[in-house]
Protein backbone atom coordinates (compact mmCIF):
# COMPACT_ATOMS: atom_id res chain seq x y z
CA UNK A 1 0.00 0.00 0.00
CA UNK A 2 1.30 3.47 -0.87
CA UNK A 3 1.80 5.89 1.97
CA UNK A 4 -0.48 8.90 1.65
CA UNK A 5 -0.01 12.47 2.83
CA UNK A 6 -2.06 14.17 5.56
CA UNK A 7 -1.88 17.27 7.72
CA UNK A 8 -2.31 17.72 11.45
CA UNK A 9 -3.53 21.16 12.51
CA UNK A 10 -2.44 22.22 15.99
CA UNK A 11 -4.75 25.16 16.62
CA UNK A 12 -3.93 27.72 19.27
CA UNK A 13 -6.25 30.14 21.01
CA UNK A 14 -4.49 31.91 23.88
CA UNK A 15 -2.79 29.15 25.93
CA UNK A 16 -5.08 26.38 24.69
CA UNK A 17 -5.03 23.84 21.87
CA UNK A 18 -8.09 22.42 20.11
CA UNK A 19 -8.52 18.66 20.26
CA UNK A 20 -11.36 16.58 18.86
CA UNK A 21 -12.77 13.13 19.56
CA UNK A 22 -13.26 11.12 16.38
CA UNK A 23 -16.90 10.46 15.44
CA UNK A 24 -18.42 6.96 15.52
CA UNK A 25 -18.56 6.69 11.71
CA UNK A 26 -14.84 7.26 11.03
CA UNK A 27 -11.84 4.97 11.25
CA UNK A 28 -10.68 4.52 14.87
CA UNK A 29 -13.65 6.27 16.46
CA UNK A 30 -13.40 7.75 19.93
CA UNK A 31 -9.72 8.73 19.77
CA UNK A 32 -8.76 12.23 20.90
CA UNK A 33 -6.40 14.15 18.62
CA UNK A 34 -5.66 17.50 17.02
CA UNK A 35 -7.56 18.08 13.78
CA UNK A 36 -6.21 16.17 10.81
CA UNK A 37 -7.05 15.23 7.26
CA UNK A 38 -5.78 13.98 3.93
CA UNK A 39 -4.23 16.25 1.33
CA UNK A 40 -6.32 16.46 -1.82
CA UNK A 41 -4.65 16.22 -5.27
CA UNK A 42 -2.88 19.47 -6.16
CA UNK A 43 -3.45 20.97 -2.71
CA UNK A 44 -0.62 22.48 -0.67
CA UNK A 45 -0.21 21.57 2.99
CA UNK A 46 -1.13 25.13 4.00
CA UNK A 47 -4.33 24.94 1.91
CA UNK A 48 -5.18 21.56 3.47
CA UNK A 49 -4.86 23.00 6.98
CA UNK A 50 -7.29 25.82 6.16
CA UNK A 51 -9.77 23.50 4.40
CA UNK A 52 -9.74 20.69 6.97
CA UNK A 53 -10.26 23.04 9.91
CA UNK A 54 -13.16 24.80 8.18
CA UNK A 55 -14.77 21.46 7.20
CA UNK A 56 -14.36 19.75 10.58
CA UNK A 57 -15.05 22.57 13.06
CA UNK A 58 -16.10 25.65 11.05
CA UNK A 59 -13.19 27.87 12.10
CA UNK A 60 -11.02 30.14 9.98
CA UNK A 61 -7.33 29.70 10.70
CA UNK A 62 -4.02 31.26 9.76
CA UNK A 63 -1.39 28.54 9.32
CA UNK A 64 1.84 29.56 11.06
CA UNK A 65 4.51 26.94 10.41
CA UNK A 66 5.16 23.31 9.69
CA UNK A 67 6.78 22.04 12.89
CA UNK A 68 7.12 18.24 12.60
CA UNK A 69 6.60 15.14 10.48
CA UNK A 70 5.61 11.68 11.64
CA UNK A 71 3.83 8.58 10.41
CA UNK A 72 0.58 7.06 11.54
CA UNK A 73 1.06 4.02 13.74
CA UNK A 74 0.08 1.74 10.84
CA UNK A 75 2.44 3.51 8.39
CA UNK A 76 -0.40 4.42 6.02
CA UNK A 77 0.01 8.21 6.24
CA UNK A 78 2.89 10.64 6.42
CA UNK A 79 1.67 13.38 8.79
CA UNK A 80 2.73 16.99 8.31
CA UNK A 81 2.18 18.85 11.61
CA UNK A 82 1.29 22.56 11.32
CA UNK A 83 0.63 25.17 13.96
CA UNK A 84 -2.13 27.67 13.28
CA UNK A 85 -3.98 30.49 15.01
CA UNK A 86 -7.74 30.10 15.18
CA UNK A 87 -10.18 32.95 14.86
CA UNK A 88 -12.51 33.82 17.74
CA UNK A 89 -15.46 32.05 16.13
CA UNK A 90 -17.49 29.28 17.67
CA UNK A 91 -16.37 25.69 17.17
CA UNK A 92 -19.12 23.92 15.18
CA UNK A 93 -18.13 20.27 14.80
CA UNK A 94 -19.13 18.34 11.68
CA UNK A 95 -20.89 15.39 13.37
CA UNK A 96 -19.85 12.98 10.60
CA UNK A 97 -16.19 13.49 11.59
CA UNK A 98 -16.09 15.01 15.08
CA UNK A 99 -17.96 13.67 18.12
CA UNK A 100 -16.67 16.34 20.50
CA UNK A 101 -14.24 19.27 20.52
CA UNK A 102 -12.40 20.85 23.48
CA UNK A 103 -9.90 23.65 24.02
CA UNK A 104 -7.34 22.22 26.45
CA UNK A 105 -3.97 23.14 27.86
CA UNK A 106 -1.17 21.02 26.36
CA UNK A 107 -0.59 19.49 29.81
CA UNK A 108 -4.12 18.06 29.78
CA UNK A 109 -3.64 16.04 26.58
CA UNK A 110 -2.07 12.91 28.20
CA UNK A 111 -5.11 12.55 30.47
CA UNK A 112 -7.46 12.06 27.49
CA UNK A 113 -8.23 8.46 26.57
CA UNK A 114 -7.69 7.00 24.08
CA UNK A 115 -4.97 8.93 22.21
CA UNK A 116 -2.48 7.94 19.52
CA UNK A 117 1.14 7.35 20.57
CA UNK A 118 2.44 9.77 17.93
CA UNK A 119 0.18 12.51 19.27
CA UNK A 120 1.51 11.89 22.79
CA UNK A 121 5.04 12.25 21.43
CA UNK A 122 4.11 15.59 19.84
CA UNK A 123 2.59 16.98 23.05
CA UNK A 124 5.44 15.64 25.18
CA UNK A 125 8.49 16.32 23.03
CA UNK A 126 7.73 18.75 20.19
CA UNK A 127 5.14 21.23 21.47
CA UNK A 128 7.12 22.35 24.56
CA UNK A 129 10.03 23.38 22.32
CA UNK A 130 7.89 25.60 20.06
Distance CA 42, CA 105 (A): 34
Distance CA 13, CA 109 (A): 15
Please tell me the predicted confidence (pLDDT) of residue 1.
45
Rounded to two decimals, what is the model's pTM?
0.95
CATH of the domain at 84: 3.90.79.10
Please tell me the predicted confidence (pLDDT) of residue 2.
60
Mean pLDDT for 9-30 is: 96
Mean pLDDT for 45-53 is: 98
Instruction: Find the domain containing 104 and state its range.
Output: 4-129
User: DSSP labels for 81-128?
Assistant: EEEEEE-SSPP---TTTEEEEEEE-GGGGGGSSSB-HHHHHIIIIIGG
Torsion of CA 59, 65, 71, 76, to 10 degrees: 50
Report the number of distinct structural domains present in the chain.
Answer: 1
Amino acid sequence: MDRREAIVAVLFRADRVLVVRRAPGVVRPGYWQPLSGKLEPGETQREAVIREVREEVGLTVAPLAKVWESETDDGTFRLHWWTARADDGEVVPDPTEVAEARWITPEEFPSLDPVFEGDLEFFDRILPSL
